[in-house]
Each structure stands twice: as structure tokens, then as C-alpha cells.
Structure 1
Amino acid sequence: MAHFIATPRTEVGDFTRLPGDTTMADELDFSAEPSFHAPEGRDKLFPQTRGARPQAAATPRNPLATLRNANARNEFTPLMKSATANRTRQVNGLLKGVGPTTPAAMKPGFQLSATPLPEASTMDGVNSSSLSESAVDGRTPVPDMVSSSVMSTPMALPQRGEGALEPNGNALTLREQEARLEQIDKENFGLKLKIHFLEENLQKAGPEFNAAALAENVSLKTEKVQMMRDLSKYSKNLKTAEKELDSYRQQLREYAEKVKRRHADEGLQEELDELRRIAEERAAELEDLEAKFEETRGNDEEVDKLNAELEKIREELRQRDELLDEHEEQIEQLQIKLTTAESSQDADGEEKERKLQELTERIEELEEDLRSAQDSHQVELDEKERKLAEQAEKIEDLEDQLQSLTDSKDAEIDALQQKLDSADEGKDEQVRTLEQELEDMDKQLEDMTNQKESEVSAVEDRLRSFEREKDLELKALQRQVQAIEEERQTEVDALKDRLQLAESQGDNQVQLAQQAASDARQKVLDMSREKSVEIELLQSRVDAAESKVDELDECRRRLRDSQQQLSRLQTESSSYEQQLQQLRTTIRQKDMELEKLNMLQRERDDATQEIHGLRLNKDSQIEALQKITRERDNSSREISNLQNTLQSRDREISSLQKKVQTQEIALEELTKLRADLGERTRELDTARKTLSERESELEALRNEAVEPGTQLDALHGIVRERDDELESLRDEINTHKGELDSLQRLAEERLQSLEEMRDEMQRTKQDLEDEIEVLQEAADEESDEKASLEEKIIILEKEVQASYDLQNKSSTLETDLRKSERERAQLASRIQSLESDLNIADQDREDLRHRLENLKQDLQAARQSSNAGANSAKDRQELTDLLRKAKLEAEDLSIRVSELEQERNDLERRLRADIGDRETKLRNAEAEVEGLQLQVAEKQGEVDAVQASSRQRISPGTHDRTAKQHQNELRELKERVRNKTLDVEDLQLQLEDRDARLKELSAQSKALLREKEKQLRTMQASLETTQKSRRMDDANAVFDLKGQIMDKDKRHVKELQGMVKQIQYLRARCKREEDFRDSLGYQKRFCLMMIEVYGQCNKEDLKLIEEIGITPDVTYHQRKHSIKTVGLAVVASIRMKRMAGEWAGQKKVHAQLIQKLEGMRRRSGRAAAK
């Protein structure tokens, strides 16, 4: 046979000489290069899987349709040959290593044709199977021409399907073949990417991932519900506190105004009682708030429990991540086993299918067991939720009981508060100081409530944003799962179509088998790359989860800070409440002191009349005191007994606390058992995951088993290993089930015992608390009785001491009588000066009346002028200044009049005292005169008796001597009588003078009294008129002030409504902006991910293009809109309409605010113009 010069090819060296020797002959290759032709319908496969529209075929082209090639003259295709050869060499070099291929003659079923041409396998080992491939259809293969003519590469191509050639029957051109190769490479790359993402999504769609997502969703929802409930409670408490503070502040303002008008207001005492009652109500309500805050602290313990469960879930997630790493290592080991097993695959397909069926049945059984375990876990969760609901109902019942108790206590406090008496002027000053302190505390409370509201709103916004993010992530995961399932189904259909097409092409069966083997090897490499990518993606997700966990921790930390701040505020409010209570106690003490002073005054007035009665009642009171002391001793003994009972109760409480500690130890054991249960469930999850992975591997092996020429020997070993592993897993699952059942029974028994012990503890605790309360009430009553008795004893002792003081003071009254005469002249001069002052005051009052009348006229004129718009603001200011001055002068005059009235009353009292003193002195003088007259009569009787006795005793002998003596005696007596008569006459004259002066003084005093009574009547009349006028003026001023206050209140209410609308509008606007930002951020992330995917795809495409050596087509084909884009556009329009409808209400609010603002501006402009 003659040899020809070979055509230049990429895989063969440069032949520049004739092959004359044997080495040249050995290096020649006469095998035909098989041309590539795509199976029928292959161009529609890739667009169907991707959901895109089918691309238009590159051939026939209109510019080349007119060019016709000669029949039976195949075009020279060196690029086609080099591409296929490079691909086979690359695959063989990567997986099998470079070495000689199997000759065609050594293959089973090889038959030589009848032609004497040399065998292709004896010439070259690079492409030894081409002869058998070319002789498939029974035709004689044509050897390669060793010339560069048009007929240099004769090939026996297989029969093409319809549409493979142009209508004129010509072959594909070089450009068409290059375009077809480029399209095939792109489709292969897209399919590999799709397979990678499908496997990743299948792994993510596993039961363990869904269980973790469900657990996290449940925990987040429980936290959200708990936090929203706490926030609602806090917001309600804050709103009620704000309302009460506003009402209390308004009442304080009203009280201040009433205190200022206390001299003109007759109902001041009732208002004071009302304000005190309201203050006590507010104190009780603040105590209720403290109790509620303590209950919320108890709820914080439940939040801590939820945090502990979250930490357990995080530990489970970490363990699952470790299990994922272990399973990835197992997958790599299985891949190594698969690569080693591919060399020895020939087994029975029916047996493998049977074993696969058994494996699937076992997997289903394990899945049913896992479902039963999940159902039991769900039942436990429902039980826990039921218990939480029962606890919430108990808490509500306790709140109702507390409310009823507070109502009853409020009623009692109101009944007691109504018994308080009026306060003095000194007490008014204390009330003012208290009002100032209360205003300061109200301001502090307002600041704290505003701060807490801002913090609570911030926490609510964070929770809403976190909830939105979680909902978006869940929706995205659901969409991903649905997309993965759809893509998996489409991929399975596409693979089935490919298998059918491969089986239909019988003439290229061997080539397809080799290509499948090379694809499998490439798939193993791609799987290794995909696993690395998957590991990176998992790492990124783990990082994202850790960041979310950090965010959750930050939110919890902020919540704890806010709760601590609330507790601090509660303590501060309690301290303020204690200060208020102390102030109230001081007020009560002052009231008691004032009452005691009033009682002492009344008792001093009646002391002279009650001294005798007190002396009589003293013995009876002493006996009563002795009885009281005996009762006090009895009460002290009862208190000691009660204290002993309290100590016994304390001992019982300590024993109960020990029981509680034992129960807590049992609870810790239960938590350990729950941890063991969690570990068992995690082991079950890992077993299920391994089973799902084995199932995926078996499915992959089953898919490979369908293709011809696959290696089945290694599958038997793998199946046996899988059977052993499944058996071991089944045994482990059975053991774990037994352990789970036992642990569940133990946990249920422990829970039941704990619940029973807890109920007993609650009952005993409640009984003890009731007994303690009863004992405390009894002790309080006994202490109150003891204090009241001691106070009574002190009062009685003071009364006795006062009676003794009054007796001592009676001796000093005599000295005061002497001083009264000297004070009389001073009082007379003082009366004259007061009369002159009264005249001056009357004149001033008349002047003030005239001035007030003039001011009223000026006011009327000013009002008329203001209505007419004639006067200016300066005149109004002058008038207001004049009114203010007039009011000040009127107040000064009223003060001066009151002082004059007090002086007049003092003078009247002194005059009455002087008159009484004079009368007593007159009575004493009359008594002295009567005594002197009696003495004179006695002396006259003695003189008469002496004269008679002297006449009888005179004898004649002694007549001279006795006569002289009697004469001397008579003389002396006459002198004494004369002296006495003179004294009596002097006394009579003095008495007459005193009587005359008394008459004159009585007449003068009567005249003065009549004049003073007249002046008092005139002054009272003038005072009544002035008071009436002042009352009228005050009533008019009060009416005007009330009108102004009502106007201000109305304006304030409207301003508050406007501010509420502004806040509502701003909140809606901020929420809208946040939603826009969230959506834009999500779109940005999605676009970045798409760009990243496109970039990776472009890089891989460029790598393939570089390997093939083809320049890409730069023509741009505009893509039509798909159904997905149309659906997204419809969804976007619906969302925009819905959001526009939601925003319409806020637009109305904004328009109303703008209208109000413009109206206020117009009114302010009009006022400025006036």
C-alpha cells in the first residue's frame, strides 16, 4: 500500500519526508477521526432546565446559504480534531495518568473487515478505538489521505437525524462547528453549576436543617411574645402613671389657687380633705405599681429560663456543625472509595436494586421513629406552654385579688381621711413646701418616664426589625427549598432525557461510555471543588448565625439594662414615696399638735369650772388607768405569745426552704436528664443525616448504574458496608429509643412529684403568710391601743398639772387689779388715737372707693376702646399696672382694717376688765366703811358702860380721887371718840368722793361704749360693703381667670392632639423609611450575589474558552421577558398599591397638620398686627 504525506494536525508531529522505514510506518495513524454530532433534541435540554427561552440556531445563515459546497467533499476540520483530542488527553492525564491506551484488536468483540488495510491499533495507540467506531454501520472505513488535498481526510460519518444538515444535504461548516462546540461547553458548565447548587440545596433541605430552623423559629417567637407582653404591661403602667400624674398635677394647681383664695373661699376645708384623700389614693396606686414591678421581676426569671434554653440550642447547633464536618470527611472517604471502586465494577443489578430497596425501607422506618420522637417533643412543648398559660392565669387572679384589697383599703383610707380637721396658717406654709417638693418629684418622674418610653420604643423598634429580618430569612429559605425541589425535578427529567438519548444512539455507544467515564472523573473533581465551596458557604452561614446570636445577646443585654433602670426608678419612686409618707406623718403630727393646743385652750377656759369635777373623777380615772395597765400587761403577754408563734412559723419556713432546696437539686437532675435527652435526639439527627447521605450516595450510584459500562463490582462492597452500617445504626436507634423512653418516664415522674411538692409548698406558704398577716394585724392593733392609752395618760397628767397652775395663778390676780388703774389712763389715750386712726381709715376708704370707681370707668372705657381698636398696647399695659396697684392698695387697706379691728377688740376687752376691777374695788371700800361704823358703835357702847359703872362705884371717901381719874379717862375717851368721828367723817367724805367719781366714770364709760358701739356699727357696715365689693371683684376676677384657664386648657389639649398627630406621622414616616432601607438592602445583597454568581460563571466560561481556543461571539441577543419577571412586576405593583393605600391615611394627617400650622400662623400674624 502506498503511503501518503499526512495532513498537518495538532496531535501529530511534522512529517516533512516520506515514510520509508519501519519507524515511520509505526508512527503513522490511518484511523478515521470521528466527527461530532449532537443527539436529537439536545439543544432544548438546557433552556428547559434553566427556565429560559430556547436560543435560535446558528445555522443556516442567510449570507452563507447561497454558497454551495461540492457533494462528497468533506471540509477539512483540524480544529474539531484538535479539540476532541485535547479533551481526551486532558481527562486521561488528570485521572488515569499518561500511558498507552488499549488497542482495538485486544478488545472483546473486535472483527476485522475484509479489506487488506493495516489495523489501526497496530499503527498508533493514541486513538485505537476509532476503527471500530467507524465500522459500526457496516461500511468499509476509508484511511486518512497523506496529502493536503481536499480529499485528505475521508471519514465514514454516521447517519444524521433530520435537521442536522442543511436542506441541500451539505455538511456543517467550520464556523458552525465552532459555535456548536462553544454552546456545548457552556451547557456543560451550566449543568455542573446546577448540579453543585442542587446537591447543596438538597443537603440544606434535610430534616436536621428544618428541625434547627423550626427550633430557632419557635424560640424566637416565644421570646417575641414574652417581650411584647412585658412591653405592653410596662407601656400600660407608664400610661396610667402619666394620666395619674397629669390629674394630680392639675389638682395641685387647683389646690394652689384655692390656698391663695382661702380667706374668701368657704369650702377650703373640703378641698383640703379631698386633696389629702387623692394623695393617699396615689400613694396606694404607687404601691400597686411597685407590686406589679415585683411581679415583672418574677417574669424575668422565665426570660432567664428561655435564655438558658437558647444557649442549649446553640450548643446543639455547634454539635451539629461538628457532625457536619465529620460527615464531610466521611463523604471524602466515600469519594475515595468510589474512585478506587470504579476500576472493578461488575455485579448483578437486580441484587443491588433489592438491597437498595431494603435500604430505603430501613430509612423510612428510621424516619418514622424520628417523627414519633419529634411528636413526643412537640407534646412536651405543648405541655410547657399549657403550664405557662396556667401560671399567667394565676398571676391575673392574684392581680385581681390585690386590686380588690387596694379598693377596700382605699375606702377605709377615705373614711379615715374625712375625719381630719382644718389646718392653721403655719400648716399652709408646710403645705406650700410640700407642693414644691411634689412638683419637683413630678418633674423627675416625668423625665424618667420619658426616658423609659424612649428606651422602650427603641427596644420595640429593634425587635420589629429583628422579627422582619427573621421572617425574610424564613421566606427566603422556603423559596430556596421550593426552587431546589423544582430544579431537582427538572434535573432528573433532563438526566432521564439524556439517558434515553444516549441509549437511542447505538452507533456511538462506546464513545458515549468513554465520555461518561471521563465525565464521572470530572464530576469527582467537581465534587471536590464543590465540597470546598460548600464548606466556605457553611462557614459563612455559621459566621452569620454567630453574628445574629451576638445581636440577640446585645438585645438581651439592652433589655436587662432597661429592666435594671426600671428597678432603679422603682427604688427611687419608693424612696420618694417614703419621703411623701414621712411628710404626711409630719402633717398628721402637726394636726394632732394643733388639735391638742385647741383642746388645751378650751380646757384652760373651762378649767375653773372643772377642777372640782376632776378631783372627783381622779380616783375613778386612776382605777381606769390601773385597769388599762392590767389590759396592757395582758396584751404584752399576748404579743409575746404571738412572737413565739411567729418564731415557730419561721422555723417551719426554714424547714420548707430546705425542702425547696432538695426540690431544686431534683430539678437540676431533671435538667441533666433533659440534656441527656437532647444528646440522644442529636444522635438520632446525626443518624438520620447519615442515612440521608447514604441515600443520596445510593441514588448517585443508581444513576451511574443505569449508564452502560459502569463499574458494579465496588458497589457490592459499598452496599454490604452500608448494610452493616445501617444495622449498627438501627441497633443504636433501638437502644436510644429504650433509653429515651426510660428517661421520659423518669422525667415525667420527677415532674409530677415536683408539681405535687410545689403545690404543697404553695399551699403551706399561703397558709403561713395568712397567719403571719393576721398576727401582724393583731400586733398592730395592740400597739395602736397601747399608744392611745399612753396618750390618754399623758393628757390626764397635763390636765392635773394645769389645774394646779390655775390655783397658783389665782394669787397673782390681785396684783393685776392694781395695775389696771394705771392702764386705764393709757387705754383712754389709746382709744382717742384709735378714733383718729379710724377717721383717717374712713377717709382713705372713701378715697379708695372713688379711685376704684374711676378705675372701673377707665376699665370699661379701655374695653370699649380695645373692642373698637382705638387704644394701643401701651394703654392696656398702663391700665393693667393701675389695676395691679389698686389691688395692692386694697389688700393693704384690708390688712390695716383688720389690724384696727383687732386693736378695737383688745381695747374693748381691756375696758370690760377695768370696769370689773373698779366694781370689785367699790365693793371692797363699802365693806371697809361698814366695818369702821361697827367699830364706832362698839366704842360708843363701851363709853356708855364705863360711865354707868363709874356712877355706881363712886363713894363719898374717894370721890375726889375717883372723880379726877374718871375725868381723865373721860377726857381721853372723848379725845378718842373725837378722833374716831373725824376719821369716820373723813372716810365718809372719801366714800362720797369715790361714789361721785364712780358715777362719773360709769357715765363716761357708758357714753364711750355707746359711741364705740356706734362707730363699730358704722365700721361694720362699711366693712360689709367693702367686703361685698371685694367679693364681687374677686368673683369677677376668678371668673375671668377661669375663662382664661379654660381657654388655655383647650389650647393645650389641641396642642397635645396636634403633637400626637405629628408623632404619629413621624413614626409612620420613619417606619416607611426603615422598610425602604430594608428592602433596598435586601435588593442590594441579592444583586451583589447575582453579580458574584455571574462573575464566577464568566470566569469559568473564559477558562473553558481558553482551553478550547475559541474566540467568543460578541453579538448581543436581546432577551425576552419571562413569566417570572412579569409575575415579579405584578407583585411589585400590588405591593406599591398596598403601601400607597397605607400611606394615604398618613398623608391626610400631614395635610391636617399643615392646615393647623397655617391657621396658627395667620392668628399669630393678626395678633401682632393688632
Structure 2
Amino acid sequence: TRRQITDLKKENFNLKLRIYFLEERMQQKFDGPTEEIYKINIELKVEIESLKRDLQQREKLLIKASKAVESLAQGGDAEIQHVKEEAQKKMQEMEENLTSRIKFLEENLKAAQEDVEKAIAITEKEKALRIAAEQKLSSIMNAPAKDVDMITGAEKDRLIEQLNLSLKSKEAIIQHLEEEKSQSGSYDGDLSAEKIRELTIALRHEKDSEIEAIRMELKNERNSFEKKVQSLQEELQERENELAVEKKNGLKRDKTIQGLTVALKAKEKENEELGSEIEDLNASLAKAREATHKAHIQKFKGAEDYQALLMEKETLLAELRSENLTKDAENRKLQRRIKRTDQELNDLNLEREKMEKELDEAQLQKSRSDKTINDLRNQLEKLHGEMTEKEKAVEHHYNILLSESNQKLQSQELVIKQLTDNVNQKDLLLQVEAEYEKLILALRKEQNIYSTLVKTFKESDSINSLQTELNNIFMLRKQLEDDILANRNLQKVLEDQIKDIKNRQDETLSFCGDQTSYMSICLGEQDRLSLQIDHLSLEELKKKVLIFFLLFTVSNGLILWLAEKVL
């Protein structure tokens, strides 16, 4: 380190001497105007600034090119990924919409099946109730009079309570059926054949509109996919054009770099020439020194002359030293400039290598992007194929649903025609129902008469002997009312069965007419009995009650036989 410091100090001293002598030499050489020196200095500064600007511009161009390449790579990958995600999202949305619609249709089918099963269960329950009522009636009709007389008083009370409860339940059922009948009558009255046809036509139009809307949605989605593919192709074309422009710019930069290398080589040649000139000058200087030394020694042999000669020699040496220092300074400046130009050349070469690497990477990225684009095109073609297959499947599915709905509509139209044909039959059934209501009112009047008879029997002395017979009559009376209510429930079943059977309409109407005539005869007999009841004795009253009961059981049997024939 100390040696280096001493060497540096010596070099510094020598440099100062050289600078001093060079300044003196410059002053001696250019005692006049110094315009040439300033011009040279200004030209050198201008060259330096121009070179700096060229370097800055090239650095900016390189930065822009690298940024453009990075943006192309990143933008292409991001846009491709975005397009993939959008395509996947739309496919998922289409699949979800189709699955939701299929689920909705399946739920509707399940609901319809459940309604059908419920209707079947209700019909089976009604059949079971009808069979149980028939069995009860047959057991009551087949039971002998002796068995009835052998029933104890406690059992009779229990039976009376059960019959009262069943009567209340049957009355509630009758009321509910009357309400339903009124609602169904109003609905049947309001619903006409034209409205039904309009509803069927509206249903068809709605289904056709839904199918058309689905087709339009599929077409719109297909068009959107095609537009996106076209836009991607246009973007790819733009990117390819940009890459071509970048390649052209790269070639231009290579040319400029080559020009700079040529200029640097020229500068190096100039520096070499200057160095050779400096060496020649140094050699000539040494020769001149030797020649002058020899000449002065030969010419001036005296002391005085020798001193003058020494002074001249010293001045010449000082001049030569100053010239040497100036040449050395110029040489060092030129060497520094050469080093700078070499460094700049190396930097430019490195930048060129970077640009070549970036171009290679850009070409690789382009090849990768081309591969990804080809993959995307293949995926889009696959998606188009899948979409067409799904469209065909959906169209086939909706055509099947449309055919099924048309079949259902045709069956509904047939049922509607049957309903419109059976409106007249409903009027006849309503007349029969009115006669049944008259019969129920007559039976209630009879019940009031029996209650008054029971009160009169309670007031008499023979209440204990007649209590059992009156209980039997009351029990039979309750059973009769229950049977009438059961027959009324059977009337509802008969209405439903008559709607489906057209071939037996005349037969059922004749049976209903006979039945109504027979019931009117029974009612007339009942009115006649109610008028004569005040004039009868107790024994005659018993006989009349038994006759009435027998007549009513016979009529009930005829009703059951009619129901069996219809069913």
C-alpha cells in the first residue's frame, strides 16, 4: 500500500509537471487567438453528447421492446385463460338451466303421479266403506227377530250411542258433500266447452313458446361463442402483426449497432494512428536532442558559450518536456476515450445479446401461444360438437314432452266431451237427490212423531213393558237413517261411474226412474201413515212401524242392487 501511495504521488507530481509544461507550450504555440482549441473542444463535447443521446434512445427502445414482449406474453395468456373461464362458465350455466328444467318437469310428473295415487286410494277407501255398509245391511236384514229380542238393555243402549255418533258423523259428511256439490255445480256451470278449448289452445301456445325461447337462447349463445372466437382470431392477427413490427425494429437496431461498431473501429484506427504519431514524435525528439547536444558541444567550447548553450538547451528541454506532457495527456485522453468506446461497445453487444435472447423467448412464447390457440380451437370445436349434441338431445326431449302433452290434451278433450255429454244426466241425478232429501225430511218428521210417542209412553203406566220395544224401534230407525246416508254417499260414487260408462246410460236412467217412483210411493205411504197415527192404538202402531220398516228395507235393497249393477 505504501509503495502504491508513493507511486501515485510520483505520478501526480509528474502529471502536474506535464500539465505545467503543456500549458506553457500551448501558450507559446498559440499566443494568438484560441478559436481552434475551443472549436476542437466544442466538437468533442458535441460528439460525446450525441453518443450519450444515442445510447439513451437505444436503452429506451430496448426497455420498450422488453415491456412489449412481456405484455404480449402476459396479455395473451391472461386473455386465453379469461376466454376459457367464460366458456366454462357459460357451459355450466347452460347445464344448470337444463338440469333445473328437467328437475321441474320431473317434479311435475311426480306430483301428477301422487295425485293419481291419492285418487286411487280415495276410490279404494270408498269401495271399502261401501262393502262394509253392504255387509252391515245384509247382516241386519238376515238377522232373525228372535236374536233381536234377545239383546239386553245395556247392549241396546251401547248400540244407540254408537248409532247416534255415526248419525252425527254422517250428517257432517252430508254437509261436506253438499258444499262440494254446490262448488262443483257452480264450477261445472261456469266451465263451458269453449273455455276448455281456449285453455287447451293456451297450454299448447305456452309450450310452443317455451320451446321456441329455448331454441332462441341456444342460437344466441352459439352466435356469441362464434363472435368471441372471431374476436380472438382478430386479436391473434394483431399480435402477430405487432411481433412482425418488433422483428423489423430489431433488425433496424442490429443495423444501428453494426454502424456503431464500424464507427468504433474507425475511432480505434484513429487512436492507433495518433499513438504511432506520438511514438514518431518521441523518436524524433530524442534524435533532435542528441543532434542538438552534439552540435552545441562542437560549436560552443567556451565556458560562456557553454552557459548560453546550456540555457538554450534547458529551454529546449523544457519545451520538449511540455510537448511530451501534452502528447502524453492527449494520449491518455485518447486511451480513456478508447476505453469508454470499448465499454460502450461491450454494453451494446450485451444489449444486442439480450435483444436476441428476448427475441428467441418471444418466438418461443409465440409458438406456445400458437399451441394454446390451437388447443383452444380444438376445445371450441369440441364445445360446438357437444352443444349441437345437447341441442339435439334437448329438442328430442322437448319433442317427446310435446307429444306426451298433446296426448294428454287429447285425453282431456275426450274427458271434457264426456263431461259435456253427461250434463243432462247430472240434472236427472239432482232430481233423484231432491227426492232423497224429501225422504230424509219425512224420516225426521217421523222421528219427531216417535219422540212424542215415547213421551206419551213414559207418562203411561206401561212404560216398563214397552221400553224395550221402543228402543228396538228407535235403533232400527237410526239404522235406517244411517243406511239412507250411506245410500247418498253411494250416489256420489254412482255419478262418477256414470260419467265413464256411456253404454249403460239408458239402463241406469230407467233404474233411477223406477227407484224414484218407488220412493215416491214410499213417501206417500209415509204421509198416509203419519195422518192416521193419531187414531191408532199401541198394537196397531207397532204393526204400522214394522210394515214401514220392511218397505224401507226393501227399497234400500233395490238401491244396493242398482249400485251393484252399475259397478
With the length of structure 1 as denominator, give the TM-score of the two structures. Answer: 0.17
With a CA cutoff of 8 Å and minimum separation of 6, indicate the structure with the bigger relative contact order: 2
With the length of structure 2 as denominator, give the TM-score of the two structures. Answer: 0.29
Larger Rg over CA atoms:
2
